Amino acid sequence: MSKLRTIIHTARLSPNQLALIAPLGEVAPRPGYHLLSHQDPVDTKDLRRRLRCDVNTLPPAFDPGKVRLLITDLDSTLIGIETIDEIAAELGLKPEVARITRQAMEGALDFTQALEERVKLLEGLPAERLETVFEHKMRPAIQPGAAATLAWLKGRGITVAVVSGGFTFFTERLQKILPIDHARACTLQIKDGILTGRLEGTVVDKRAKLEYLMELARRLGISPSQSIAMGDGANDVPLLQGAGLGVAYHGHEIARRHADARIDHGDWRALRHLLLEA
């Protein structure tokens, strides 16, 4: 039987904590984390509780050295806000829209229906206010460690893509300030400089996210098993399941339940641990 690899996402383990995990296998310190190599499965839930940090066992078939694609959700994953909620704040409607957003991310509402309902509430907003949201809400909300980690991935020859039920207005601007190779999102309809409350084109729902992963894999000439997907909500579940490694990033329970790994405590730098950064 080949050894399993479990990432303990902390560089600091007390003598008592080391004594706790030592019987489980071989423990090796790495930059920023510890790598536990072992034969038998470990209870990661119990270890998370007892060590008070993220703990993830890599799927046996996942090979970090062969990863060639990272595909990530935008809202509450790459950035720490829900963009549509902040657009609604420009109209004084944030609480109402945020409630619908939360229910959709938890899987309680159909994503497409919930998105169209929220976009309808944005009717009449001057499009120039979107620029305000980008500069004052989105840019400052880029997740800690994200920019440096994306650059690190690019340095390893890994393609970076964003797939979002959010909006192209914002993904296009993020591509100018972050090393993002590809992006797919929804398009807000704008006429005479005003949001109409409608979308143009296809909604990027959970099915579309998975299809984008498969499309990119074909274009890159790789297997989906050579990809990592990150997301936080119900709309990301098929994407997480379709990748070689699905990572729930500070996710809702439905995303954590279906992911291979979960980052609940750390930030984007924990992704490097999952790739076994030496």
DSSP classification of residue 9 = -
Q: Do the strands 55-57 and 33-38 form a parallel or antiparallel pair, or are they unpaired?
A: unpaired
How far apart, in whole angstroms, are the C-alpha atoms of residue 121 and residue 154? 38
Alpha helices in 36-167 (DSSP H): 44-51, 83-89, 94-105, 111-120, 128-133, 146-155
DSSP classification of residue 230 = E
Residue 84 to residues 118, 199, 204, 238, Cα–Cα distance (Å): 8, 13, 14, 22
Q: Check if the beta carbon of residue 106 is closer than 8 Å to that of residue 98.
A: no
Query: Which residues are known catalytic residues?
Result: 73, 75
Helix (H, G, I), strand (E, B) or coil at 98: helix
Alpha helices in 90-236 (DSSP H): 94-105, 111-120, 128-133, 146-155, 168-177, 206-220
How far apart, in whole angstroms, are the C-alpha atoms of residue 101 and residue 117? 10
Angle between helices 111-120 and 94-105 (to 10 degrees): 170
- Show Cβ contacts of residue 116 under 8 Å, excluding neighbours closer than 6 positions: 199, 203
Helix (H, G, I), strand (E, B) or coil at 144: coil
Q: Give strand pairing partners of 229.
A: 71, 246
Q: Check if the beta carbon of residue 161 is closer than 8 Å to that of residue 69.
A: yes
How far apart, in whole angstroms, are the C-alpha atoms of residue 64 and residue 244? 9
